[in-house]
Structure 1
Amino acid sequence: MALFAKLATYPPLAQATVVSPTREKFNFTVVLESSKSLPERPWEVSIWYDHGAYTGTKSPWQALDLNPVNTTPSVLYDDTKADNYRHTFSGDLDSPYSSHERTYKGRRVPFTIRFRVDKTAEWSWVYHNFGIRDGELILQPPIDPFFLGASPVEVNDGWTIRKTSSDAPEARLYTFESAHPIPTPSEGNAKLESLTLGRVTQVCRWFGLVRIWDPWFAPRHGEGRLRLSEPAILLSFLRSDGLHVVLLAVNGIDEVLTEFGSTEEGEIVVRARNDTGRDRKFKVLAASAWKFEIANAAVMYEMRKLVRQSTAYQQTIEHLEQLPKSIRSESVDSDTVLLDHQKPPADDPTLNPQWLASWYDSLAYCTWNSLGQDLNAEKIMAGLDSLAQHKIYISTLIIDDNWQALDGTQGETNQFHRGWKEFEANPLGFPEGLKSAVDKIRETHPKIRDVAVWHALMGYWGGISPYGKLAQTYKTLEVTFREGTPMAGRKLAIHPDDIHRMYDDFYRFLSNAGITGVKTDVQFALDLLNDTLDRRSFTDTYQSAWTQAHLRHLSGKAISCMSMLPQILFHSFLPTTTPRILLRNSDDFFPNVPTSHAWHVFVNAHNALFTQHLNILPDWDMFQTSHPYSGFHAAARCVSGGPIYITDTPGEHDVGLIQQMTALNPQGQTVILRPSCVGKTMGVYDKYDEKGVLKIGAYDGKSDVGSGMLGVFNIAESETSFILPITKFPGVNAPESTTSDVGVSKEKWLVRSHVSQRITPPIHPSDPIRPDNLLQCTLPIRGYDVWTAVPAHTFHLPEADSNIEIANLGLLGKFTGAAAIVEMTFNFDEVTDAALAGRLKIHVQLKALGTIGLWLSDVQSRNRKLEDLMVLIQGKPVPQHVVSFNTAHCPDGSGVLEIDVEKAWEEMQLDLGWSNEVGVDVFLH
């Protein structure tokens, strides 16, 4: 009968759960479901755990018998068709840190679960029935982490250690520097040299971001001993005492490339290549803290300071100062406006104000997978016509590879042997020229605001053609690319002395042709240069030329691609000197490789742990909406916090899915609803081969009043059930427990599922986790969902003499509909109409149209009527038929007030005036 049961547990099996320092009891909750095809039985469940490890004694493993309880975790999936009995079991362990007189060490406690149909049956073990490994509790001790010794790393001889002041509170920060310079050859090219740093002790699990090949990062995970097969840039260790230790290789301050490796014994090896021609030392940053994000932030903040102090950065600033002040202004804000107030030259079009939000937040269409590499103007127009026929109105078009004039023949000549000839488009595919094609696109599809084109940083995959206009116009240099790479051999490049002029001319040409953005690819070519002198002269100079040109001519609308090399990421994207650009966050979307899709999302979520600290928005790459994994990719892109590009084959579109990702803004343009804080994995040490649930967290809005978003993705090859605490959402926190009380937040949060539309009752987050803080879900193969946690606000209504709880769910039917909320306020004081006196006024500012949902706790209990409400949009009453109550999927007594703002906007023919937002007012009594 055990085979007819399935289990969901918190803490989870097969993973490590870090328990924050507490002296309170710790809870286990298990939900067991059994088939109704068999009689219901009095199931029993117990936790089997290492009691000795838990208590710090030598006692053997023992059982914690769990009790059946009526309170179950809030169910966020549609279980109405599930033919199962559901049983919830719960039990507590006393804290092993009960005494206030002792100093404790952290504990690493393995556990598993056993269950049986009744007390006379033999126990069944989860591992034997389902193959699920033991879980682990990592118990952080209730002591100051600064008390845990001098250095988080046992450092070998040959290194100096300097404790550094940390800009991240609650983190210890260190700089490790070699005692002697990096060895350099007396002649010839510099190469990677190695020096063993040492090891982090008591390692439970580790995570690293490695260079899977030159242009891309990817995550690697392990337990115990560090084993790296690729060079890493960032390493993080979870120790058995609960301390997180993060190491970052120092890069971007000069021409020194630094990476991590490992020895057979698990020691950390630092590898560095010194291209400066001067003495330089191996250098590493390390930080430790109770939380990964704090330790990670500590090393990244320090790295940014080092880059700002570097000579290379000062040279970059000097170049940027040649730009108009309005263009070079420092910003990381989506609302940045780039405007050149100087009179433009006659051959340069007037620069209009460019709100970067229109670039970041547009729905884009890319030609790569949709139309292929054999590209021409007719195919592009056919693709756009297909979208329009399906009422899909994109705002940005990206013309990908093969629009350029190249030597060789498409389909015959290897792309790495083709060179770029001239600025104008290839005459076979674009016989009337690039400008004519763009003009026709804009005339036929006027909703397209931005048209971007692809090109390689050094021209094309094969560099510059020796036979074209470019080679005749600009100074060139023949360079050698490293053997063993696709670009190996000698190729022609624009000389660094002339690259600023070339890029300025090229982007002026593009701007005159109506192009407003670029996707600049193959940037890793800079790292493939074989000769030290070439790497030294090309790398920063090319980056500087490109940056100046896209800021001057394209308002900063640029996508940096195949550029995840430390020399670029640290030097160009750590400082916040310029507005954010878009950075490709992973390797490509491969539509025809079934095993690639879950991995693609997993990689992006982990790479974001690093790229979240850069002055970029992460681009998780294009995807297709008519594909077995289309919903999986769509949900991931929506919580990524980056742009969304589709690359549908003409005629193959999922319009309903696109509508869940997008909305119309009041100007009638299609926009995405992008969270203000980027999405990243919430399980730093969860391994891909554990085949569990990937959790991607994002946040939108201001601290404590915004919305937490959690995307959940089944990366297993079977149905998966799981339980998560509400504190897994970014921004949803519980105060730390104290010596006198459990830490229970005064704030309450509602969680809503996008897929099932279920809404939880208001939840007070607590520390330690309580059973009423838990959320349960079952996902099918390729299953996904996006949950949104929104704050619940309590008010007293004087006329009814009763309390009401209110939560703004955002736009319904959208993956990240809460991201449409710009502002929300409540008051009684601003009601000036005597007929509305004494009513609570709810004011919401929206940046997009759709149906807004306001959860009210008393819709059913007070039997609310629409006649009791007043709803205004832009200060004008709305027709009653656009307002309704919906009580489906709501907790007892409550319901959702739904206001179709889009329909009201159309019917009332409203006007924005000077604003770009819509104001909605609701009056309640």
Structure 2
Amino acid sequence: MQFTIKFRHALEQSWIWANEEYGIGDGFVVLQDIAATSQRLEDLIPDLSSQWSISSHQSEAPDTTLWSLTTQIGPSVADESSFQDVEIGTPFTHFQKWFALVRAGIPWLAPRKGLSRCSLDKDAILCTFADGQGRHLVFLAMSGVDDILALFRSTDTNSISLHARNDAPVERDLMVLVSTGYEVDKAIAAVVYHARSLIWKYSQIHNAGTWNSLGQDLTEDKILEALEILEESGISISNLIIDDNWQSIDTLDQGAAQAGLLEFEANRAGFPSGLKSTVSKIRRTHRTIERIFVWHALLGYWGGISPRGAIARSYKATHVRREDTGTDMTLVANEDISKFYDDFYAFLVQSGVDGVKTDAQCMLDTLASASARRALTNAYLDKWSIASLRHFGVNAISCMSQFPQALFHALLPQIRPPVTARNSDDYFPDAPSSHRWHVWANAHNAVLTQYLNVVPDWDMFQTVHEFADYHAAARCLSGGPVYITDVPGQHDLELLKRVTALTTLGKTVILRPSVVGIALDPYLDYDSGALLKIGSFHGSGSGGISLMGVFQTSDAQTSSLTLLSEFRGISHTSSYVVRAYTTGRVSHPLRFTDGRGPSLLATPSDEGYEIYTAYELTRFASRWWRRQGEISVASLGLVDKMTGCAAIEASHVEMDAKISVTSKLKALGVFGKASEG
């Protein structure tokens, strides 16, 4: 059942259709029928292809049902991978809306969505569908196991199919995980949790960047000059990433699509005294910098290694063909990958480097031959993971690694400390139409990546920019690191003060919520003009603090009636106050008295965003006070910071002769509390 709203601002004014005034689509009435839940997948996909075998599994996510679909794919032949397309069926026969995460090129994921017609413009790794009874059906294509790559495609008959690739010289199983439930986040959790258990069985085993700020002709002098300007501007950074173009690369190899790495040492034109000398100068002149990272590609450089360089002479090399360019590339062979990384990272450690940003990991998915993909894909992913952990601990950033084999094989298992991983395509400061989409894509990608063993990195941003506050708010809510890539001398110090905080020891820290930020409604259409809502949470269990950022997706200024129950982790038995960051306004106490509880009007600021924080109130009877009734109190954390609630490490409220609020904070700032009664 569809509906729209007609309203008028006053009795004497004309009626207005909301869909015509604001360009929004019709709403849907969902008639939830719990009795309609089926334990048979054939009832949910009546036209399910007979090529699939169905198995039921115990779901680890509450209130969900889980199945797997399996079929076979033939072997690779004569070093050429085999490909197969297998029809699945039409979810619910008729669905109301759908959401998918597709491969936006080789390295990245991006969201897609629609209504009753599923039309995927790119191959998808995850698809979810909702029907008119409030049910969700989630599909996850398994990759990264047994040399299989599997992705979803839409068909002309409004069904979905699986497109698969087998690099193994033997027949392999294809698998699709399917779950259903009345809450889409639980249904997604069900398939991801089961995928993790399968991968485990098979495998067993603050900040600044230099790319946008200093450009491609990177030199020691440019780095030192930029750091000097930052310091003169009063900006203290704790982490520095020396980005692309510090390495010694072969630009003369005309047969390669991209340059290859010659040797470990930095290029002599930009770093005449070597990497170690540059790092020493940085540490000597900028004492606040605690960690220095350097960039490198997983395979050495964008084009692997140079066949004419010292690396090719020191390690066993192999020559491979690339599918994307049709050119050849030289790589360190499987037998010497571990030695290559150990030697490279030992050199970096001796040079004073603390960590690495390992980019272009998706190049593994450009290899053409089945044998090369088989021998090198998981080998590079595994051996990089081991070497980075051995030499740098958690100081490693995984980039351009959202290709299916890496997502499942390397990033899903929880067998090492979480690695920081880029969560979307790059930040493009000079592309006006990209900024809202960048935040949108990151929030929707996080619907899946929240379950990976990663700290999500939403990429750098510039503090002097039309969308600076917009990006800063999104980064604070993301639960990941905050990096800036400012042009030297162009810094917004006041914005940085709202994003970071100083400890009592003078160290600059970011205030990161405990739970990563995600899009609260994955089905919402980007072009609808509706507000993007990003939900996060700080703390654990009851007593935690819920955050919701609302972001404009167009130039039109809109508001949204928002239910308290939309905040993540809210208890229906507690009372809350909600504070808006930009205005400082605090709501009256909100409590669930009927149905879905109270609501508030969410309105972005002139910068296109607002951050709302819901604090649970501690309530006391006031019989010892001058008047009868109830007193409610909450600690708000640092109210001058975007996510100042994340400064709270512990908080306790008690009442004796007086009310005492005790909060342990991780940094300095303006402390706030709320009281009522």
TM-score interval, smaller chain:
over 0.9
Residue 208 of structure 2 corresponds to residue 365 of structure 1: yes
- Deviations along 1:668-716, one digit per CA (max 9) or x if unpaired, are 1111000110000011100111122110000010122111000110011
Assess, with a 3 A threshold, how the Cα gap between structure 1 residues 246 and 508 changes in structure 2: closer, same or farther: same
Q: 1:126 aligns with which of 5, 18, 21?
A: 18
User: Equivalent of 2:146, from 240, 254, 266?
Assistant: 254
1:39 aligns to what?
A: none
Q: Which residue of 2 aligns with 1:495?
A: 333
1:290 alignment counterpart? 182
Residue 149 and residue 499 in structure 1: after superposition, are their counterparts in 2 closer, same or farther (change >3 A)?
closer
- Tell me, in whole angstroms, the C-alpha distance in 2 between the residues paired with 1:633 and 1:122: 39
Residues 701-754 of structure 1, C-alpha deviation per residue, up to 9 Å, x if partnerless?
012211100011001122212211111111124xxxxxxxxxxx3301111011
- For the residues of structure 2 that align with 1:617 and 1:518, how far apart are their CA atoms? 15
Q: Which residue, out of 55, 64, 82, partners 1:162?
A: 55
CA shift digits 1:477-536 (9 cap, x unpaired): 111111xx3x54001111111010010011111111110110000000100000000000
Specify the alignment match of 2:279 in structure 1.
438
Q: Distance in 2 between matches of 1:130 and 1:393?
A: 44
Aligned to 2:448: 610
Q: How has the CA–CA distance of structure 1 residues 552 and 120 changed in structure 2, closer, same or farther, with 3 Å as cutoff?
A: closer
In structure 1, the residue matched to 2:669 is 850
Relative distance call for 1:274 and 1:151 in structure 2 (3 A) is farther
Shift of 1:149: 7.1
Task: Return closer, same or farther for 1:148/1:285 CA change in 2, 3 Å cut-off.
Answer: closer
Paired AA for residue 536 in structure 2: A
Matches within 5 A, 1:392-541: 392-408=235-251, 416-482=257-323, 485=324, 487-541=325-379
Find 1:190's aligned residue among 81, 99, 111: 81
1:762 aligns with 2:600: no
Which residue among 43, 61, 67 is the counterpart of 1:174?
A: 67
- Deviation of 1:809 after TM superposition, in Å, equals 0.8
Q: Is 2:638 the partner of 1:746?
A: no
Contact 2:88 2:159 in 1 (8 A): yes
Three-state SS of the structure 2 residue aligned to 1:439 is: helix
Cα 1:459–1:118 shift into 2, 3 Å = closer
Which residue is equivalent to 1:57? none
Measure how far apart 1:842 and its partner are. 2.6
AA of the residue aligned to 2:29: L
> 2:336 corresponds to which letter in structure 1?
D
Say if 1:124 and 1:651 are closer, same or farther in 2 by CA, change over 3 A. Answer: same
**Structure 1-normalised TM-score?**
0.71
Write the distance in 2 (CA, Å) between the matches of 1:413 and 1:608. 40
Q: Are 1:204 and 2:23 matched, yes or no?
A: no
Aligned to 1:683: 521
In the alignment, is the contact (CA less than 8 A) between 2:106 and 2:362 conserved in 1? Answer: yes
State the secondary structure of the residue aligned to 1:373.
Answer: coil
In our comparison, the structure showing a higher alpha carbon Rg is 1
Match of 1:78 in 2: none
Matched, 1:814 2:641: yes
**TM-superposed deviation, 1:133:** 2.5
Whole-Å separation in 2 of the counterparts to 1:657 and 1:607: 26
Q: Secondary structure at the match of 1:203?
A: coil
1:383 is matched with 226
Shift of the 447–255 alpha-carbon distance from structure 1 to 2, 3 Å rule, reads same
2:235, 2:493 within 8 Å by CA — same for their partners in 1? yes
Query: Counterpart of 1:226?
Result: 118
Partner of 2:570: 732
Measure, in 1, the Cα distance between the counterparts of 2:435 and 2:9.
Answer: 39
What is the aligned partner in structure 2 of residue 566 from structure 1?
404
For 1:86-97, what aligned pairs fall within 5 Å after superposition?
Answer: none
Q: TM-score, normalised by structure 2?
A: 0.96
Q: Is the CA contact 2:23–2:528 (under 8 Å) kept in the aligned structure 1? A: no
Contact 2:241 2:294 in 1 (8 A): yes
Structure 1 residue 159, shift from structure 2 partner:
1.1
**How many Å separate the matches in 2 of 1:652 and 1:212?**
32
Deviation at 1:797, TM superposition (A): 5.1
Aligned to 1:866: none
Superimposed CA distance per residue, residues 593-622 of structure 1 (whole angstroms, 9 cap, x where no aligned partner): 000000000000000011000000110000
- Mapped contact 1:798–1:838 kept (Cα < 8 A): no
The equivalent residue for 1:825 is 652
- Counterpart amino acid of residue 127 in structure 1: N
Cα distance between partner residues in 1 of 2:269 and 2:586:
56
Q: Cα distance, 1:276 vs. partner? A: 1.9
Question: Shift of the alpha carbon at 1:799?
Answer: 4.3
Distance 1:121 1:448, change over 3 A: closer
- 1:397 and 1:242 mapped to 2: Cα distance? 47
Counterparts in 2 of 1:256 and 1:265: CA distance versus 1, 3 Å: same
TM-aligned CA distance change 1:592 to 1:414, over 3 Å: farther
CA contact (8 A) 1:465 1:492 kept: yes
Q: Deviations over 1:534-565 (max 9, x none)?
A: 00010111112111111111113111001101
3-state secondary structure, aligned to 2:617: strand
User: Paired residue for 1:863?
Assistant: none
Q: Is the 8 A contact 2:256 2:328 kept in 1?
A: no
State how 1:880-895 maps to structure 2 within 5 Å. Answer: none
Contact 1:715–1:782 (CA<8 Å) still a contact in 2?
A: no
1:712-731, aligned counterparts within 5 Å?
712-731=550-569
CA distance in 1, matches of 2:215, 2:311: 26
* 1:129–1:639 distance in 2 versus 1, CA, 3 Å: closer
Shift in Å, 1:281:
2.2
Cα distance in 2, alignment partners of residues 165 and 306 from structure 1:
13
Contact 1:718 1:780 in 2 (8 A): no
Distance (whole Å) between structure 1 residues aligned to residue 193 and residue 327 of structure 2: 39
- Please give the secondary structure, in 1, of the residue aligned with 2:335: helix
Name the CA distance, whole Å, in 2 between partners of 1:540 and 1:185.
18
2:281 and 2:11 map into 1 onto residues whose CA distance is: 77
C-alpha distance in structure 1 between counterparts of 2:637 and 2:11, whole Å: 49
SS of 1:815 mapped into structure 2:
coil
Residues 103, 124 of structure 2: 8 Å contact kept = yes
Q: Structure 2 matches for 1:613-632, cutoff 5 A? A: 613-632=451-470
Give the secondary-structure state (helix, strand or coil) at the position aligned to 2:339.
helix
Shift of 1:780: 6.1
Aligned mates of 1:756, 1:413 — CA distance in 2: 58
The equivalences for 1:74-93 within 5 A come to: none
Tell me, in whole angstroms, the C-alpha distance in 2 between the residues paired with 1:407 and 1:123: 69
Measured in 2, the distance between the counterparts of 1:161 and 1:436 equals: 61
State the distance in 2 between where 1:465 and 1:628 align: 42
Work out whether residues 204 and 240 of structure 1, in 8 Å CA contact, stay in contact via their aligned partners in 2.
yes
CA-atom RMSD in angstroms: 1.9
- The whole-number CA distance in structure 2 between the counterparts of 1:617 and 1:231 is 25
Q: 1:781: Cα distance to partner?
A: 6.6
Which residue pairs with 1:321 in the alignment? none
Answer whether contact 1:145 1:290 (CA < 8 A) is retained. no
| Separation in 2, partners of 1:425, 1:119 | 73
**1-structure distance, mates of 2:561, 2:254:** 54
> Which of 385, 406, 413 is matched with 1:547 structurally?
385
Tell me the distance in 1 between the aligned counterparts of 2:26 and 2:389: 53
Aligned residue number for residue 76 of structure 1: none
The SS at the match of 1:417 is coil
Residue identity matched to 1:553: H
Contact 1:252 1:566 in 2 (8 A): yes
